[in-house]
A and B are shown apart, each in its own frame.
Chain A
């Protein structure tokens, strides 16, 4: 099956302004912040790709580049057969019909001065020729689908609880029946007790409506539940990518191993590998040459200074590490 979304070599760098960086540039040093540096992945119809990594590793920038909320510096994003990075004007607005996003903070993402109906209806108003009564019916339907019901249409954001707000955000994202939805940490601002219900809702919507998700999170447990495949990001690049089960059973990249070993296990008797990295994440202004993890990795070897591409270590299991498969 051809992928629904295909991302190749996506990069985004932010130039630094001011006198200091200008002098550095004259001395031939790199002074841009490379937030995303050559990211590639694809997502099949109906599939959920999990994107995990620490805060600041570029996950959200990837999401914003896909939707063109941020202009990528280079690379290609194809949805079906449309090159998203080249769209502009009304064609870009039509793209929003097929590609949507659910934001992290459900409160900040809702306009305090618009009713739920106005907000959920807006995509229909902008992208369809439906009349007022048809739009009304669609909004009522989608509110039911996200577990709220038509009664909520007249409310304003401040009259809703956190979970209800996130349901409204989800309703707004799926009202035009998009094929692809980016979920940017949709549960991290919610109480733990609400998370599982939102996750179950997202999973049910995916099945019923044939959606594909890019699920961004730093919550390993929810990724494990929701994602079919997982990509691990570190410092702007994907370092490992595999089927979810394979990745959790057999993490190959040292960064992935460190990430997984940091997840608490709710069992006092559980024993497992402790794998810790040294130091802090380096600044994305000066990313180490070769392997990005080189300075922090307990296994680092001289060869790690060489550039390291993603290679297929096992069928469907891609990893960017020189040491994998060499004992």
Chain B
């Protein structure tokens, strides 16, 4: 490399980190496929009223419990509601609730974790002991207890899912903070006269983001699964609203009478979505962390 004075002209087209990531992503068909699944689901959820063949709430006793036909592709339930339309409409809740809870947990966890890691000392000790207290409960038991105590409105379910996730982000960001706060650029930021909050928010947090993205993607799958399980147990979304877990629960009661389409399809959708989130998370980990490349 030449030094300074002779300024090299910049390449006409600069390859940003995003472009580099896209190139590597293209070589990873599994992650790309999983990403496709989530994108399609999101589009379907957004356009639900347009895409769904029927009104998801419209009952028709004449075709109750009908097996898949050309008219009702995935069959109908006890009230004669079209299952495909209900699955499509349910995608809205099933995507927005995990997303909202993960986003909330991410923001709160990042701030508390950053405080804990950057300040250290007794602040760190207190926060870490609290985190351990929350983590001592199995996540699902904690979620059950919280929804049972708070009541199962959509807001409360988001809150519950966020609370079960927050400790993970606190730990993650705290660990990252311990690493980056010792970097020389942190000291340089202090030398230049940054107040502490600016060092953390402007200089350090952006350097902690990659593992956070991975964790958040994996957590989306987990949050969806938890919500579906809560609904399955009757602690989550309540019946008139369509939700995959609640639909599986309703279908399960028909298992012995042979109406298989009522539990198989919602179950498959949950499985596919959770799998997609996990695969994206795994793929992102490989993409964002050069050390992980070629390990598996």
Report A's interface with B, CB cutoff 8 A. Answer: 67, 69, 93-97, 100-101, 103-105, 108-114, 122-123, 126-127, 146-149, 151-152, 154-155, 161-164, 167, 169, 172, 194, 197
* Subset of 17 A-B contacts with CB under 8 Å: A93-B195, A101-B191, A108-B183, A108-B184, A110-B188, A111-B185, A111-B207, A112-B185, A114-B203, A122-B189, A122-B194, A127-B193, A151-B7, A161-B2, A172-B188, A172-B192, A197-B3
Q: A100-B191, A148-B4 are in contact. List 8 more A-B contacts (CB 8 A).
A: A69-B191, A95-B193, A122-B192, A123-B192, A146-B4, A147-B5, A161-B3, A163-B1
The 5 closest A-B pairs by CB, nearest first: A96-B193, A108-B184, A161-B1, A163-B3, A109-B184
Partner of B191, one of A96, A105, A154: A96
CA distance A101 to B191 in the complex (A): 7
Distance in angstroms between the alpha carbons of A96 and B199 in the assembled complex? 15
Q: Is the CB of A67 within 8 A of B4?
A: no
- The reply to whether the CB of B179 lies closer than 8 angstroms to some CB of chain A is no
Residue interface bits B186-205, CB-to-A below 8 A is 1, else 0: 01111111110000000100
Interface of B is mostly: loop
Enumerate chain B residues within 8 angstroms of A149, measured Cβ to Cβ: 7
In the bound complex, how far is the Cα of B202 from the Cα of A114, in angstroms? 9
Give Cα distance in the complex from A249 to B62, angstroms.
109
- In the bound assembly, the distance between CA atoms of A146 and B3 in angstroms comes to 12
Distance of A266 from chain B, by nearest CB (Å): 23
A93 CB contact (under 8 Å) in B3, B10, B193: B193
Q: Shortest CB–CB separation between residue B119 and chain A, in angstroms? A: 16
Contacts of A110 in B (CB 8 A): 185, 188
Q: Mark B164-190, 1 if CB is under 8 A from A, else 0.
A: 000000000000000000011101111
Residue of B nearest to A113 (CB): B206
Q: Give the complex CA separation of A101 and B4 in angstroms.
A: 20
Contact of A194 among B3, B7, B203 (CB under 8 A): B3
Residues 224-254 (chain B) with a chain A CB within 8 angstroms:
none
Report the separation of the CA atoms of residues A123 and B2 in the bound assembly, to the nearest whole angstrom.
28
A167 proximity list for chain B (CB < 8 A): 4
Residues of B within 8 A of A126 (CB): 192-194
Residues of chain B whose beta carbon lies under 8 Å from any beta carbon of chain A = 1-5, 7, 9-10, 183-185, 187-195, 203, 206-207
Q: Which residues of A contact B195 (CB under 8 A)?
A: 93
Bound CA span A163–B4, Å: 7
Instruction: Give chain B nearest CB distance to A118 CB in angstroms.
Output: 9
Are B185 and A108 neighbours in the complex by a CB distance under 8 Å? yes
User: What is the bound-complex CA distance between A106 and B217, given in angstroms?
Assistant: 34
CA distance A95 to B193 in the complex (A): 8
Residue of chain B at shortest CB distance from A89: B195
Nearest CB of B to A89, in Å: 9
Assess the A103–B188 pair: CB atoms within 8 A.
Answer: yes
CA distance A114 to B189 in the complex (A): 12
Residue of B nearest to A149 (CB): B7
CB distance from A264 to the nearest CB of B (A): 25
B4 CB to nearest chain A CB (Å):
5
B contact residues around A164 at 8 Å (CB): 3-4
> Would A152 and B7 be within 8 Å (CB), given that A97-B193, A111-B203, A126-B192 are in contact?
yes
Residues of A within 8 A of B185 (CB): 108-112
Looking across the interface, which residue of chain A has its beta carbon closest to that of B180? A111
Closest CB of chain B to A109's CB: distance in Å?
4
Set A109, A151, A197: member contacting B10, Cβ < 8 A: A151
Contact of A105 among B184, B189, B194, B203 (CB under 8 A): B184
B187 adjacent to A69 (CB under 8 Å): yes
Select from chain B the residue with minimum beta-carbon distance to A112: B207
Q: Which chain A positions have C-beta within 8 A of B194?
A: 122, 126
Q: How far is the CA of A162 from the CA of B4 in the complex (A)?
A: 9
* Contact residues in A for B192 (Cβ distance below 8 Å): 96, 100, 122-123, 126, 172
Q: Which residue on B lies nearest to A198, using beta carbons?
A: B3
Smallest distance from the beta carbon of A190 to chain B beta carbons, Å? 9
Interface centre among B3, B184, B189, B192 (most CB of A within 10 A): B192
Task: Report the Cα distance A10→B193, complex, angstroms.
Answer: 22
Complexed CA–CA distance, A94 and B192 (Å): 10
**What residue in chain A is nearest B2 (Cβ atoms)?**
A161
Q: Which residues of A contact B7 (CB under 8 A)?
A: 148-149, 151-152
Residues of B within 8 A of A155 (CB): 10
Q: What is the CA–CA distance of A63 and B161 in the complex, to the nearest angstrom?
A: 49
Report chain A residues within 8 Å CB of B193. Answer: 93-97, 123, 126-127
> Which B residue's beta carbon lies closest to that of A99?
B191
A66 vs B1: C-alpha distance when bound (angstroms): 35
Q: Which single residue of chain B is at the shortest CB-CB distance from A163?
A: B3
